[in-house]
Structure 1
């Protein structure tokens, strides 16, 4: 039976297309992020800052009680710097006592410890305790808001501005999902002991027991913080963080329609992140990546490694498709010092460049003897 040349070409072309589509199907296995009914959201790997999913993360919105994350951040710094202590007794002002919204029910003129006020703010989301802490540190809530904005600038929260310590509505008081993720990460990394307070499920003050408003603490055992917020202007929002198998994810969900929606949306995002992504340490700075020949040196070769541990976020199962391409000088001449940048390492996944990072010398390799240098110089003429 004779088969025409055109038919053979057709069959081969079809086979190539079919195999190509199968390969793409193996690679493109991650669905779109869940639809959660928020005005803005952001899901990041806290170790790498990799954005797993997002929706308008730089949209300026009222943060409501999530503001208290910045209030707490300022308080944590004041405690760390010995400007205040947990045992300080704070006299409750009339302004703090009259605070509207969520409260821990402190009484005007009474003395309350900084520790109790901190718990009342973190667990019970007390507007009254937030104002009392602000006044204790800065004298007035207005002066305290200046500190909040100074710290926001230091953290490069470029789309945030704070007018008060509680998050009560003000047209000039705003933040973004991206900025709030930066703030949450700063609290987790800089103040790990204080961050543990955010996992407290209930707190009792003045014989009034109130639960933590972050109900994800009950629903998902991997969730260990961090803060809810809601007003009629802001809607219902939640910054949450979880840790599973040593991978920490931070979720920021802003402007949902109900308390249930913010919890369900946050849970859906966290599950999406953990189901499809993983934090991978691909390269360690102490491990030799490649050994290269050197010229005019005491030793004939030297080991190179990445300058810092290379940690990245990858789709699950994709690490076996990582490719490494070295970009090195044709001839590496001495003297060489430990840590000296020799070249670069290009890291690719499925042909797409993920990063280009330095390769550095793992040890010193000084100049060789005069005879060695002359020999290598002559040999290089013929290379």
Structure 2
């Protein structure tokens, strides 16, 4: 009885295996020839993508500054520039880097807002703008940040530097190291305050924009840079923001002012409207009103001329042969792109990709490309990649698939 059952099962198995092998041959004959197809769609409402500065005639924008730049924060696109790499002292705009290092330390868990910071003799001796901190005084990191971001307190900047790195010199080394990482090739920091009484530190408009762009990635900082008036020491000491745009420019989010006799009047101004965050840097204006007016001119120009959009492209699943799954979904990674408003509706895109693929497919494997064109000229190319892994189908998976096909 057992022998008969065994023979019957063996015969059935061999029969199915024979049919299975025939099916595999048929499937092999149907494998794709990797034909490439191009799909076109002109429905996207986007514009030219500007990676370089937009050329603006000198008499169009009234920027009363030796050096200036306008940058879009998310993409890093430069929308206007004037002497952007000239070495200049930047006074308290230096504190953008000081605040950046503190914000990064908080994000990394190295520091907490309720940490108590002790003011050293060195910090208490700082001149210039200050919160009149006394040696030995303790203040929370939260209040220290407020004093530095709002009132540009030099004593607070030094206290924060010492709290993070132990010494000012160690903090300055960290500042210059971070600047190098950000591509700030025309910058030399000598202190966390920007004071230039003795040696003169320097930077340039482009580098200030780069570190400002990095700082605004930390949402925490806006809790301080958007304050117009506040207090510290339980309401006993008043603070007023040195950045007047916070009070008088709609959408202003920061960032930092600076002025000395050598640097003149400087400003890194940030503002956000309609989802677009702009950075306007103005260095070496002759007067304080001129720096604010120039920053406002740059911001107005940027918001009036550009917009920020994220294009959406339909990418349907594509066929996969010989895989554990029958299809894979292509995806793409694109940041928002800068739009020049008068060129809307002139962008087209093309999806270039094989119609079918053969397993295995690795997650992230390049399947094709997505191309954006303006008036027929290529302006951006992005790879299309596999959303998921598709392993090659195993013998048993094939067997189960055919068995299900035949008997259901």
| TM-score category (smaller protein) | 0.7 to 0.9
Is residue 339 of structure 2 the alignment partner of residue 314 of structure 1? yes
State TM-score, norm by structure 1. Answer: 0.78
Partner of 1:226: helix, strand, or coil? Answer: strand
The correspondence for 2:275, drawn from 240, 246, 258, is 246
Map of 2:214 onto structure 1: 186
Match of 2:142 among 106, 115, 123: 115
Cα distance in 1 for residues equivalent to 2:329 and 2:346: 23
- Alpha-carbon distance in structure 1 between the residues aligned to 2:155 and 2:145: 11
Deviation at 1:227, TM superposition (A): 0.5
Aligned twin of 2:3: none
How many residues were matched structurally?
336
Deviation at 1:54, TM superposition (A): 1.2
- Distance of aligned partners of 1:107 and 1:296 in 2 relative to their CA distance in 1, 3 Å threshold: closer
**8 Å CA contact retained: 1:283, 1:311:** no
Q: How does 1:57-206 map to 2 (within 5 A)?
A: 57-169=84-196, 171=199, 173-189=201-217, 191-205=218-232
| SS of corresponding position for 1:345 | strand
CA 1:172–1:233 in 2, change beyond 3 Å: closer, same or farther? closer
Aligned-pair distance for 1:366?
A: 7.3
Secondary structure in 2 matching 1:145? helix
Residue aligned with 1:164, SS: coil
Instruction: Give the superposed CA RMSD.
Output: 3.0
**Could you tell me how far 1:363 is from its partner in structure 2?**
6.3
Tell me which of 36, 46, 59 is aligned to 2:63.
36
The Cα offsets for residues 159-218 of structure 1, whole Å up to 9 and x where unpaired, read as 2221101100154522222222222222221x2123321101123346342310100011
Whether the 8 Å contact between 1:42 and 1:53 is mirrored in structure 2 is yes
1:241-275 alpha-carbon deviations (Å, 9 max, x no partner): 11111111111111111111111111111110110
For 2:353 and 2:200, the matched residues in 1 are separated by: 52
CA offsets, 1:320-339, max 9 Å, x none? 1002244456x755236254
Which residue does the alignment assign to 1:16? none
Question: Larger C-alpha radius of gyration, 1 or 2?
Answer: 2
Give the TM-score, by structure 2 length: 0.73
Contact 2:334 2:382 in 1 (8 A): no
Contact kept, 8 Å, 2:185 with 2:207, in 1: the verdict is yes
Alignment of 1:318-329 (within 5 A): 318-328=343-353
Once the two structures are overlaid, the 10-residue window that deviates more, 219-228 or 169-178, is 169-178
CA positional deviation for 1:312: 0.9
Which residue does 2:359 correspond to in 1?
A: 335
Q: CA deviation at 1:145?
A: 0.7
Give distance in 1, aligned partners of 2:230 and 2:295.
Answer: 24
User: What's the offset of the Cα at 1:153?
Assistant: 2.5
Greater relative contact order (Cα < 8 A, sep 6+): 2
The answer for unaligned runs of 5 or more in structure 1 is: 1-28, 371-383
Report the counterpart of residue 51 of structure 2 in structure 1. Answer: none
Contact 1:43 1:269 in 2 (8 A): yes
Are the equivalent residues in 2 in contact too, given 1:43–1:250 (CA < 8 A)? yes
Residue in structure 2 matched with residue 266 of structure 1 by the alignment: 295
Residue by residue, what CA displacement relative to the aligned partner does 1:270-307 show, whole Å, maximum 9, x if unpaired?
110110111111235xx31x677x696679x9677552
Structure 2 gap ranges (5+): 1-53, 396-408
d(CA) in 2 for partners of 1:364 and 1:111? Answer: 55
Deviations 1:87-111 (A, max 9, x none): 3333333322221211111123333
CA distance in 2, matches of 1:31, 1:83: 44
Q: Distance in 2 between the 1:31 and 1:63 partners?
A: 25
